[in-house]
């Protein structure tokens, strides 16, 4: 088992696969320096980080690669288990602001501050995922009673045409 990171070029030709291995990590070690006698052995102990080229000819590496003669697995292709679509830093959409909730921790009331005053649905959700309170709010400052809620962590979720925003708050009496 392990974790794999694929590296490829723009023309979709794989270049290297880096992965962490658990178990044997084999390599060819020259038994006496200069002897030309290589033995395949576990060179990394209980686990290893490997980086194998994914293009080329394995015959170019008859005794592995690197100082420990790591076995090269060119045709041991990496299979991506998720969509491989990538994005550059300039393409990342800005995340919506978190809700401003105070006081935090709260005991009797919380105030939810919004930048806009559009009609919104506000839900309070407990750590089990249950909606314990729902209301509609409209305005930049909304104060809600939380005196009937038990001590614990809650998530406030505001939903409107602009999207969904969330914030965490703690009830502590």
> Domain locations in the chain?
1-85, 100-171
What pLDDT was estimated at residue 104? 94
Residue numbers of the chain with a pLDDT score lower than 50: 1-7, 77-84
CATH topology of domain 100-171: Immunoglobulin-like (2.60.40)
pLDDT in tens, 16-26: 555 555 555 56
Closest CA to 22 of 51, 57, 49, 54: 49
How far is residue 93's CA from residue 70's CA, in Å, rounded to a whole number?
Answer: 41
What pLDDT was estimated at residue 51? 54
What pLDDT was estimated at residue 99? 85
Residues 6+ apart with CB under 8 A from 25: 42, 43, 44, 45, 47, 48, 50, 70
Cβ(134)–Cβ(125) under 8 Å? no
This model's pTM is above 0.85: no
What pLDDT was estimated at residue 116? 74
What pLDDT was estimated at residue 80? 45
């Amino acid at each position: 088992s392990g974790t794999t990171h694929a590296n490829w070029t723009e023309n979709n030709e794989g270049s290297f696969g880096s992965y962490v291995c658990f178990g044997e990590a084999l390599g060819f070690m020259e038994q006496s320096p200069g002897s030309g006698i290589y033995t395949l052995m576990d060179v990394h102990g209980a686990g290893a980080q490997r980086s194998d080229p994914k293009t080329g000819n394995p015959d170019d590496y008859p005794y592995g690669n690197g100082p420990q003669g790591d076995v090269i697995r060119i045709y041991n292709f990496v299979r991506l288990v998720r969509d491989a679509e990538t994005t550059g830093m300039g393409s990342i959409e800005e995340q919506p602001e978190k809700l401003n909730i105070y006081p935090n921790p709260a005991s009797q009331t919380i105030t939810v501050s919004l930048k806009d005053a559009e009609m919104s649905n506000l839900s309070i959700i407990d750590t089990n995922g249950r909606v314990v309170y729902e209301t509609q709010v409209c305005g930049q400052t909304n104060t809600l009673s939380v005196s009937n809620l038990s001590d614990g962590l809650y998530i406030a979720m505001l939903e409107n045409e602009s999207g969904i925003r969330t914030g965490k708050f703690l009830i502590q009496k």
